[in-house]
Amino acid sequence: MKTYDTRFGPFPIADEEIWHCIAPMPGFTNLQRFALLHLPSQGPFVWLQSLDEPLITFLLVAPEHFNLQYSQVPHFAKTSGVPMVMVILPQTENGALQSNALAPIYFLPETRQFGQWIVERHDMPTEPFSAAHLPPAKLQAHIVIPVQETDTLKTDEDQSLATGTA
């Protein structure tokens, strides 16, 4: 286990908790190693934390939270995976959360690999928005939950996701 600097302070992360980017995100092609961080106080949201650049994180959530569904899979997926979408935080106090619906992140839990892929469309499910309070079950075994959330993260925890903490 090695300690990595993150946006939220230093965290011990085991080798088996490290995700490898196999389809780089445009503008971030030099970032290859990441961890998924989940702060229980933030419900279903997870942070994709770069282990190569501590200040780079992306807020993710299951697509169902934005009433999105993807029937296609990316070219790099050799096994079934878990799609997630990046959350775009509002820049104003009354703004709404948005998602990057046409560029989901696809996680392959069996190999701890992921990538971003561009889709031309997404499907609209017939079910209502998801009300799940946790990240997708297939990812939970590979998520780092900071033990010291209440100590070192008070400033981030006190600030709502809806007011732009990124």
- What's residue 153's pLDDT? 43
**What is the DSSP secondary structure assignment for residue 149, as one 8-state letter?**
H
- What's residue 136's pLDDT? 77
Residue with tokens 């939270």: 65
User: What CATH number was assigned to the domain covering residues 2-149?
Assistant: 2.30.290.10
Domain locations in the chain as residue ranges? 2-149
Give alpha helix (H) positions in 14-159. 137-140, 149-152, 154-157
Residue-wise pLDDT tens for the chain (166 aa)? 999 999 889 999 999 999 999 988 889 999 999 999 998 888 899 999 999 999 999 999 999 888 888 888 899 998 889 999 999 988 888 888 888 999 999 999 999 999 999 888 766 555 555 566 767 777 777 778 765 544 444 444 444 444 344 4
- What's residue 44's pLDDT? 92
20, containing H or E segment: strand 19-23
Burial of 97 (0-12, 13-18, 19+ CB in 10 A): middle
